[in-house]
Structure 1
Amino acid sequence: MKLSVYCSGSIAKGASDAGKLTWSDVERREVAKGTAPHEVVFLNPDDPITDPRNTLGQFGRDMYQVMVATAVIVDARERRGLGIGVEMAAAGTFGTPVLVVAPPNTKYRADRLEYRGVTVHDYVHPHVAALAAAVVDDFLAAGEALARIVDAGPPPRARHVPGWLGPAIDEYRDNVLGADLPMLAALRRLDRIPG
């Protein structure tokens, strides 16, 4: 079966981002290995967009990919920003499962944490815990969790696009998708007709 994964995580925007952990072929290979025998098509928010000045279309592209993905896999190996939180919330709205790669004793997960005056054991950040179908140690485990979700049957998906996402997705579909060669190639691989 063909699966699609939205690669949520930091994008290297320039020289100042050189030290950030980002999605690479290494992480994608590990996910693909974990989902075997399923085939994975990766939806990459860092693929070039035809008009980077079209910020609504760019946001719409990310939300469209989250909406059509089989799952969103979040790279939470280190601190992440606003965009990843929005992607996770949108995935929850669409019914797209979210899998979070947060190794033990990193920003979003700890064996032991002093938190609000108490000691918490097996801590997972509340937003991650609430939105994730699974929190795993690495990308291989994320692929394995995705395979289990798919093999158990499709989760219920939302049929309605909420107002806060609709205009951006419409802008992307109407004005950007037709020239978005990486996304069109991914849709062809998934046997989906854009529209």
Structure 2
Amino acid sequence: MKVSVYCSGSITKGVSDRGKLTWSDTERTEVAKGAAPHEVVFLNPDDPITDPGNTLGQFGRDMYQVMIATAVVVDARERRGLGVGVEMAAAAAFGTPIVVVAPPNSKYRADVLEYRGVTVRDYVHPHVAALSAAVVDDFLRAGEALAELVAPLAAGGAPAADDVPGWLAGAISEYRHNVLHADVPMLEALRQLDRIPG
């Protein structure tokens, strides 16, 4: 079965971001290996956009990818920003499953945490815990979790709906009508997924 993964996490925007952990071929290879025998098509928010000045269209592209993805895999190895939180909230609104890669004793997970005056064991950040279908240690395990999540689809279950919440509708419409036609990487991903837009 062919599945799609939206690669959520930091992208390198400039020189100051070079030290960040970001999605690369290494992470994608591990997810694909873990998801075997399923074929994984990756939806990458860091692909070049034709009109960087169209911020609504750029936001719409990310939200469109989250909407059509089989699952969102979040790189939470390090502290992440506003964009990742919005992507997770949008995925939850679309019904797109979320798998979070958060190694033990990293920013969003801890074996033991002193928190609000109490000791919490096996802590997972509340937003991560509430929104995620799975929280895993690494990208190989993210692929394995993806394979488990798509098992009902392979057996004929229904995929996530393409219903667009009102707070995302304008951005996705801007992307679909004014950007998508020239977005070569996204058009190629849609071809691979047999989802050519009409």
Please indicate, yes or no, whether the TM-score normalized by the shorter chain is above 0.5. yes
User: TM-score normalized by structure 1?
Assistant: 0.98
The residue matched to 2:160 in structure 1 has which SS?
Answer: coil
Separation in 1 of the partners of 2:95 and 2:159?
6
Separation in 2 of the partners of 1:174 and 1:118?
51
Is 1:192 aligned to 2:189, yes or no?
no
Deviations 1:92-143 (A, max 9, x none): 0000000000000000000000000000000000000000000000000000
Partner of 1:129: 129
Quote how far apart the aligned CAs of 1:159 are: 4.7
Deviations 1:3-55 (A, max 9, x none): 00000000000110010000000000000000001100000000000000000
User: TM-score normalized by structure 2?
Assistant: 0.96
Quote how far apart the aligned CAs of 1:160 are: 2.6
- Note if contact 1:95-1:156 (Cα within 8 Å) is conserved in structure 2: no
Partner of 2:34: 34
Partner of 2:6: 6
- Note if contact 1:101-1:142 (Cα within 8 Å) is conserved in structure 2: yes
RMSD over equivalenced CA pairs, Å = 1.0
Quote how far apart the aligned CAs of 1:152 are: 3.0
Is 1:149 aligned to 2:149, yes or no?
yes
Unpaired segments ≥5 residues, structure 1? none
Going from structure 1 to structure 2, the CA distance change for 1:132 and 1:13 (only over 3 Å counts) comes to same
Partner of 2:68: 68
Separation in 1 of the partners of 2:168 and 2:115?
34
Report runs of 4+ in structure 1 exceeding 6 Å deviation. none
Separation in 1 of the partners of 2:139 and 2:158?
21
Unpaired segments ≥5 residues, structure 2? none
Equivalent runs, 1:142-181 vs 2, <5 Å: 142-153=142-153, 154=157, 157-181=160-184
The residue matched to 1:11 in structure 2 has which SS?
Answer: coil
The residue matched to 2:4 in structure 1 has which SS?
Answer: strand
Q: Sequence identity of aligned pairs in percent?
A: 81
Structure 2 counterpart of 1:111, one-letter code: D
Is 1:183 aligned to 2:186, yes or no?
yes
Separation in 2 of the partners of 1:92 and 1:38?
23
Residues paired across the two proteins, number: 195
Quote how far apart the aligned CAs of 1:158 are: 3.8
The residue matched to 1:194 in structure 2 has which SS?
Answer: coil
Going from structure 1 to structure 2, the CA distance change for 1:63 and 1:107 (only over 3 Å counts) comes to same
Structure 1 counterpart of 2:169, one-letter code: G
Structure 2 counterpart of 1:99, one-letter code: V
